[in-house]
Amino acid sequence: MFWKGFRAIMPLYLGIIPFALAYAVTARAAGLGILETQALSVLVFAGASQFSAAPLLGAGVNGFAIVLTTFLLNVRHLLYGISIARVLPNMTLRQRIFGAYFLTDEAFGTFIASGVKDYRFFFGACISLFVSWNAFTLVGALASSLVPDPVALGVDLVFPLSFLALLIPILKTRIEWLVAGFSSLAAFLLVPRLPSGLGILVVGVLGSLLGAWLTKDEPVQTQVSLEDAAREVA
């Protein structure tokens, strides 16, 4: 199951690879060394935060300001974590810690879209992204003077298209389409007007509240696995 999750995210490499190269080029241009550029990818492992932190580090900005900026950019992961915990309620503390560290937009989207409720699949997707991201960060850091900026070429368009490809197949009901449409409109209106990261969190909360309100009268469906049923019988 681990390798199934590992392979499931590979189509997104089309967006991950140029994004990692673009980060490395940005970090090196900001004055970061190869080791510093790579350390951000290994320790922070969050593309948008790395893009923001690299020039701030290069300019010698106060550490608190950098932490606050990266926190706002990644606060949406709180919603991701809550969603993962609902799908995989039986995770151990160790699994939760590792999952929180390796959790990314792409791994979350791939896992939720797959419909597979297995931690090994989720972890495989996370590691697949971690390996590819860090490998091509290193390539970009070593050859930064030879690599054209992929973002300037418009390659970053691959990311939103990839997420649309993950989202559309899992929208099956009228309510799901309505919530997706509302969230898209709210993101279009709010994200450019709010601090980085905060807009996405607000949109996520608003979309969740709308979905909860629209489904408040629907009966709760409880799914019992064969393993749980056998435990009950025993």
What pLDDT score was predicted for residue 230?
Answer: 40
54-71 tens-digit pLDDT: 878 877 777 787 788 777
159 C-beta neighbours (distance < 10 Å), count? 18
Q: For the chain, how many residues are written?
A: 234
Task: State both tokens at 143.
Answer: 């050859």
Q: How far apart are CA 200 and CA 156, in angstroms?
A: 18
Output the pLDDT for position 159. Answer: 59
Question: What tokens does 33 get?
Answer: 């060394």
User: 113-164: per-residue pLDDT in tens?
Assistant: 888 899 999 999 999 999 999 999 999 888 877 766 656 666 556 656 666 7
Domain boundaries, given as residue ranges, for the chain: 2-150, 171-217
The candidate with the shortest Cα–Cα distance to 76, out of 46, 119, 53, is 46
Contact 37, 19 (CB under 8 A): no
Angle ∠(144,148,149) on CA atoms, nearest 5: 95
Query: Which amino acid is residue 91, in one-letter code?
Result: M
Q: List helix spans (H) across 143-197.
A: 158-167, 174-190
Instruction: Report residues of the chain scoring pLDDT below 50.
Output: 220-234
Structure pTM?
Answer: 0.72
For residue 23 the two structure tokens come to: 């980060």
b/e map of 80-118 (b: 16 or more CB within 10 Å)?
beeebeeebeebeeeeeebbeebbbbbbbbbbbbbebeb
Residue with tokens 């241009």: 29
Q: What is the per-residue pLDDT for 196?
A: 61
